[in-house]
Amino acid sequence: ATGWKGKDFIGLAGWSPEEVEAFLHLAKQLKANKREWVTKAPLLGKSLGMIFDKPSTRTRVSFEVGMVQLGGYALNLNRQELQLGRGETIEDTAKVLSRYVDAILIRTHSHSLVTELAEAATIPVINGLTEREHPCQALADILTLAEHKGELNGKKCCYVGDGNNVLHSLMHIAALTGMHLSISTPKGYEPSPAIWQEAESIAQATGATLSFSYDPAQAAKGADAVYTDVWASMGQEEEKAERTQAFAGYQVDQALMAQAKPDAIFLHCLPAYRGLEVSAEVIDGPQSVVFDQAENRLHAQKALLLGLLES
């Protein structure tokens, strides 16, 4: 049994390095023996309710397909189609869903809405992205890094761009796996100091390091992987023009990739905007593993679900 059975998965700060190791082991197994696991149907009769307050391609499809491949079922619950959209409280929604399904996945803006849902629910709640964290993404990220770079401990990963939810979860997972994470953002777009604290305290036990520079070239030096994400996240559409200006000079292009190791990989959680945070040459070039990374959402989340829900 894995350490996260029956628990909420709202963020990675509560995970241990041992749990991450168990997770990676299980995810690799599930990926390698996909067909075998389908016939085992370990989650037969189990269901996942998925509430999406924001758009999603990868999270939605990979969770739904992942449940089916494990013998379970997933329901897509758009807020507008629920009574939640007409003012039923999140607490009542949580209590009712707890009587029907075995876990709830939620993607929403506010992180506190997810914690409120989790407090009222009697079943595990999974964070499918908030403005603060995107922990499911980080699970797929380390699976991808492990596949392409082997042992994670001691590897250098560089993140260039916005200090957002994707970076926050990457900070947690890098700390948990003993990586060296170098971060570069423009002034005013740095990651949250609270997350930095959480990651630093995890890093003390694993030997991981976190570093920061406003100069992306400095941050990318000698990196094994270079990661970026959109400059304007969902909900920040109105800031797009202002952000495009602020982030000029932070595009991951060939010149920036040349600062990293020659065999460095390029990561992006997707969706991506070519010509903004990444050049087409890089994301569509030989160093890019973004579609492996997208595929790994499926395998990573199946491992998460199996660990959470297996009887």
Query: Which residues contribute to the site for ligand NVA (CB under 6 A)?
Result: 129, 164-166, 229-230, 233-234, 269
131-150 positions binding ligand CP, by CB under 6 A: 137
| Angstrom distance (rounded) from CA 78 to CA 81 | 5
Confirm or deny that 107 is annotated as ligand binding.
yes
| Angstrom distance (rounded) from CA 202 to CA 205 | 6
Of 58 and 302, which CB lies nearer to ligand CP in the complex structure?
Answer: 58
Q: Which of 134, 243, 268, 299 is catalytic?
A: 134
Residue 241 burial by Cβ neighbours in a 10 Å radius (0-12, 13-18, 19+) = exposed
Cβ neighbours of residue 79 closer than 8 Å, sequence gap 6 or more: 51, 52, 53, 85
Helix (H, G, I), strand (E, B) or coil at 310: coil
Q: Which does 33 bind (CB under 5 to 8 A by kind): ligand NVA, ligand CP, none?
A: none
Confirm or deny that 274 is annotated as ligand binding.
no
Q: Is the bond preceding residue 286 a cis peptide, omega within 30 degrees?
A: no
| Angstrom distance (rounded) from CA 85 to CA 34 | 37
The number of C-alpha atoms within 13 Å of 269 and in the hemisphere containing its C-beta is: 31
Q: How many residues does the chain have?
A: 311
> Which amino acid is it at 177?
T
Binding residues for ligand CP, total number by CB under 6 A = 8
Annotation says 245 is catalytic: no
Annotation says 263 is catalytic: no
Of 120 and 232, which CB lies nearer to ligand CP in the complex structure?
Answer: 232
Choice from 270, 281, 292, 295 touching ligand CP (CB under 6 A): 270
Q: Which does 229 bind (CB under 5 to 8 A by kind): ligand CP, ligand NVA, none?
A: ligand NVA
Q: Which residue is nearest to ligand NVA (CB)?
A: 233
Annotation says 134 is catalytic: yes
Stretch that binds ligand CP, among 54-62, 76-84, 118-126, 148-156 (CB under 6 A): 54-62
- Is there a contact between 145 and 129 (Cβ–Cβ < 8 Å)? no
Annotation says 137 is catalytic: yes
Annotation says 268 is catalytic: no
| Catalytically active residues, by annotation | 107, 134, 137, 229, 269, 297
